[in-house]
């Protein structure tokens, strides 16, 4: 396997420096340089994945298998969280709207916050936990047990077979999962409203979607593609670059979840800023 070369080589320079640096300074510099090294490696990994995605041979079978694994198998979890999101959001927002005498706005307020923000972010975070850790652990254990090496000597490019298929599958499946979660959220909201009143689903949905514009929808869908890509890339990167002992499988899975969740939030912030500027 071609290893991704670290770009920054500060440590030997520091060690052989003639200036007297304190232990603390050296320690801090090593930490900073290994952080930068990690960032550089991740960027190189993304570039390589990108390059392999557009190469001639594409592993269709593995791609469809991954779509099934990542998309279909997440449906129960996503349904439950989606419905509860809508339910809870409605119950929590009702008192304040009652105070302002605007209870009729409740369905559309819930729909807008679900579709614009809460649906995508919560679903992405749940998927970072379920899918990100799954990919990290699977690729990590394949690395540790030499399955990736075995693939490489069987004339198969493991980046193409394992990484590209998973990253594409998460990128395409996450938007679908988010829409699916939104739908359950709306349903949950309708149930919550019916706890305290009696609103038909037709009336509810005309209220809910009355204020919703296409422009609420589009940025929310676009950013979910990026969330999906982030989850797939981070999971694959952590798994693919796992260390050599069995304990590194756990580390890979864990750090995949942490980093993917963090990046999802950061990407969301950037997306919101961009949307805000454009509209």
Partner 1 sequence: MTEVKNTEAIIEIGNLRKSFGNLEVLKDVSLKLFNGENLVVLGKSGSGKSVLIKCIVRLLSPNEGTIKVLGKDVKKLDRNDLAEIRQKIGFLFQSGALYDSMDVKQNLEFPLIRIRKKLTQKQRNEKIEEVLENVGLLDAINKMPSELSGGMRKRISLARTLIIDPMIMLYDEPTTGLDPVTSDEISLLINDVKKKYKTSSLIITHDIECARATADRLIMLHDGAVYKEGKIDEFEKSTDTLIKSFFK
Binding site for partner 1 (CB under 8 A): 1, 138, 141-142, 145-147, 149-156
Can you list the alpha helix ranges (DSSP code H) found in 128-246?
133-144, 147-153, 158, 165-196, 201-210, 214-240
**Which residue number, 126 or 139, has a Cβ lying nearer to partner 1?**
139
Of 27 and 146, CB closest to partner 1: 146
Q: How far is the CB of 257 from partner 1 (least distance, A)?
A: 21
Q: What span, in angstroms and rounded, lies between the C-alpha atoms of 53 and 268?
A: 25
Measured from the CB atom, the residue of 119 and 158 that comes closer to partner 1 is 158
In Å, what is the CA distance from 40 to each residue of 31, 34, 133?
A: 14, 10, 22
**Helix-helix angle 75-99:119-127, to 10 degrees:** 150
Instruction: State in angstroms the smallest separation of the CB of 37 from partner 1.
Output: 13
**Which of 63, 225 has the CB closer to partner 1?**
63
User: How near is the Cβ of 11 to partner 1 at its closest, in Å?
Assistant: 10
Residue 3: CB minimum distance to partner 1, A: 8
The answer to whether 257 touches 129, Cβ cutoff 8 Å, is yes
Question: Is-contact 258 125, C-beta < 8 A?
Answer: no
């Amino acid at each position: 396997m071609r290893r991704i070369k670290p770009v920054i080589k500060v440590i030997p320079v520091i060690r052989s420096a003639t200036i007297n640096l304190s232990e603390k300074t050296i320690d801090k510099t090593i930490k900073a340089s290994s952080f930068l090294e990690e960032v550089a490696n991740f960027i190189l990994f993304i570039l390589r994945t990108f390059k392999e995605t557009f190469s001639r041979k594409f592993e269709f079978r593995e791609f469809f298998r991954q779509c099934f694994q990542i998309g279909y198998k997440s449906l129960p979890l996503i349904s439950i969280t989606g419905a509860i999101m809508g339910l809870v959001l409605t119950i929590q927002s009702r008192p304040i709207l009652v105070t302002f005498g605007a209870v009729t706005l409740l369905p559309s307020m819930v729909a807008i916050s679900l579709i614009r923000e809460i649906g995508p972010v919560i679903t992405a975070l749940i998927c970072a936990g379920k899918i990100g850790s799954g990919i990290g652990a699977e690729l990590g254990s394949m690395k540790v047990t030499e399955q990736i090496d075995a693939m490489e000597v069987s004339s198969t490019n493991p980046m193409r077979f394992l990484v590209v298929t998973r990253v594409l599958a998460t990128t395409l499946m996450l938007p679908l999962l988010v829409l699916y979660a939104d739908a359950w959220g709306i349903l949950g909201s309708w149930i919550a409203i019916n706890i305290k009143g009696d609103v038909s689903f037709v009336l509810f949905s005309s209220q809910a979607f009355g204020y919703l514009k296409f422009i609420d929808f589009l940025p929310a869908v676009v950013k979910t593609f990026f969330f999906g890509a982030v989850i797939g890339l981070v999971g694959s990167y952590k798994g693919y670059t796992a260390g050599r002992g069995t304990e590194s499988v756990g580390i890979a899975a864990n750090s995949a979840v942490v980093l993917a969740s963090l990046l999802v939030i950061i990407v969301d912030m950037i997306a919101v800023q961009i949307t805000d500027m454009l509209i």
